[in-house]
Structure 1
Amino acid sequence: MTAARSIEPQQAFAELGRIRLGETELAGVLARVAELAKISIDGVAEASVTLVGDHGAHTAAFTGELAQVLDEFQYDVERGPCLDAATAGSTFVIPDTDAEPRWADYAKRAAAAGVCSSMAVGLPVQEAVTGALNLYAVRKDAFDDDAIIAAQTFAGYAAVALANAHSYDSTATLARQMRDAMEHRAVIEQAKGIVMAQRRCTADEAFTLLSRTSQDSNRKLRDVAADLVRRASQR
């Protein structure tokens, strides 16, 4: 692990702004945020991104196992700087894990893992999702005032990129669901037409027959309909 900065923070900010939605999935954006934080902020040995939503907290991206392990320890004990940063949207710096009174359990675990100082910066991602940028260092007092300002500025750019990516991902998912629903409805309508022709029944009666077949066979209605349409086309 290295704590040496390899690019200037301004380069990282610019790269975050150049991320093209539609060409990069949300997971890719998250991974790039963690990587850019590691190589652009002084003192960082490993970095990760925590996301907190309706289903709790999880590490969405990390640069090394050390970051993931310490993140997950905080989730397990339900206490730690990354969770508080995500909740409060604030920045929490631990200069020395051997002398940290606020999160004693986490600090003890971090020190045992070789992390001597850390920083967590809140990330407002989306209304229902918050997060934190987690930075881990292998020396004490790794984050001076300049590093803290750089991390907070980086987090601001990252939050915009993540919010846009999250919104794009949600919109794309909704579009796929709507397209799938329309395709399934079209198949079901075709199957109803086949049943109506075969049984000389009404549309409602045809739908009831398809639904009954779905229940009896423990298969989804759209699968029953697709199978019927496929067999009819083969004949």
Structure 2
Amino acid sequence: MTSALPEADLAVVLAELRGMLLSREGATEAVAHLARVARDLVGPAAGAGVSVFEPGEGRITTASTDELVEAADALQYDLDEGPCLATWTTGAAHRLEDTGSDRRWPELAAALARLGVGSMLSVPLNLPDRTVGTLKVYATTAGAFSAHDEAVLTELAAAAATLLGAGQGPEAPRGLTDGALEALADRRTVDVATGVVMERHRLAEDDARRRLLTDARDTGRPLVEHARRLVTDVGRRS
């Protein structure tokens, strides 16, 4: 069977991931790099994310290439539906072909469309006995991802899952847990800031999250940093 991903390219990516897992940064930097590689390898992708599922910690997005992916992932977790969660449950790839017409997850599709997402593709990070996470890409247009794109992403995910699941080096398991906990804290900060925007501007949750994302972009700050500043400012005034 012909590989969709050139062997030389895959070897380079795996060598980079292995080196990160053995370094002080550990798995936290490795999954961030994996997200960037996925975005760059899959042509139509506007952004990518990696979710790793920690026993006892719930679903946690540990890396994303930009604020749009952060917001899109958060919507799936908040609504408890979508390709990412379906992939985790089934251990198989799932797509959302067109956010303007999808009938499987209509509430999610409508919310993603308002964020500017047209389609998405999610593939599993599978080990022989379990699914440890998902790798997903987002596009701004409908029907953006081809069968070849799915094959490339699937091969990348399969190889990366082996490294991440094996926990290369003594720092890797601790690094992954630390990164997951940090991501969970960041998400809670964004949730609190969303509540502040809802109250301040009398907006529904989806509208408030979009307002928060837009304000972050306008100020040139990452979403989490902007949310943290907003929450801190409210705390000082109270």
What band does the TM-score fall into relative to the shorter chain? 0.5 to 0.7
Q: 1:38 aligned to 2:39?
A: yes
Alignment-mate amino acid for residue 11 of structure 2: A
The CA deviation at 1:124 is 2.5
Change (3 A) 1:168 1:96: farther
SS in 2 for 1:119: strand
Distance (Å, rounded) in 1 between the aligned partners of 2:65 and 2:84: 16
1:5-25 Cα distance to aligned partner (Å, 9 max, x none):
xxx943542233202232251
Structure 1, unaligned stretches of length 5 or more? 1-7, 174-235
| Higher Rg | 1
Checking the alignment, whether the CA contact within 8 Å between 1:122 and 1:131 is kept in structure 2 is: yes
Q: 1:17 aligned to 2:14?
A: yes
Alignment of 1:33-112 (within 5 A): 33-53=34-54, 54-112=56-114
The CA deviation at 1:169 is 3.7
Matched residue, 2:30: 29
The CA deviation at 1:41 is 1.1
Distance (Å, rounded) in 2 between the aligned partners of 1:158 and 1:38: 15
Alignment-mate amino acid for residue 16 of structure 1: V
Matched residue, 2:189: none
Between the two proteins, what is the percent identity of the paired residues? 27
Moved over 4 A (4+): 125-129, 170-173
Q: 1:116 aligned to 2:113?
A: no
Distance (Å, rounded) in 2 between the aligned partners of 1:64 and 1:172: 25
Checking the alignment, whether the CA contact within 8 Å between 2:132 and 2:161 is kept in structure 1 is: no
Distance (Å, rounded) in 2 between the aligned partners of 1:110 and 1:136: 10
Distance (Å, rounded) in 2 between the aligned partners of 1:153 and 1:51: 17
The CA deviation at 1:141 is 1.3
The CA deviation at 1:165 is 3.3
Q: What is the TM-score of this pair, normalised by structure 1? A: 0.64
| Greater alpha carbon shift after TM alignment, 111-120 vs 22-31 | 22-31
Matched residue, 1:197: none
Matched residue, 1:3: none
Distance (Å, rounded) in 2 between the aligned partners of 1:109 and 1:52: 24
* Aligned mate of 1:162, from 164, 176, 199: 164
Distance (Å, rounded) in 1 between the aligned partners of 2:138 and 2:128: 25
Q: Which protein, 1 or 2, shows the higher relative CO under an 8 Å CA cutoff with sep ≥ 6? A: 2
Alignment-mate amino acid for residue 160 of structure 2: A
Count of aligned pairs: 166
Structure 2, unaligned stretches of length 5 or more? 176-238
Matched residue, 1:134: 136
What is the root-mean-square deviation of aligned Cα atoms in Å? 2.4
1:87-107 Cα distance to aligned partner (Å, 9 max, x none):
211101122111111111111
Alignment-mate amino acid for residue 108 of structure 1: A
